[in-house]
Amino acid sequence: MEEREGFIVAIGCRKCGKCENICPNGALYRINGFVNVDHEKCDLCMECVKTCPNKALVYME
Domains of the chain listed by start with CATH number: 7-60 (3.30.70.20)
pLDDT confidence tier of residue 2, bands split at 50, 70 and 90: low
Q: Would the pLDDT of 4 be above 90?
A: no
Amino acid of residue 2: E
pTM, rounded to two decimals: 0.87
d(CA 39, CA 15): 20
Q: Is 7 in contact with 39 (CB distance < 8 Å)?
A: yes
Q: Angle at CA 60, nearest 5°, toward 12 and 58? A: 35
* φ and ψ of 15, to 5 deg: 60, 30
Q: What is the mean pLDDT of the chain?
A: 94
Q: Is 19 in contact with 50 (CB distance < 8 Å)?
A: no
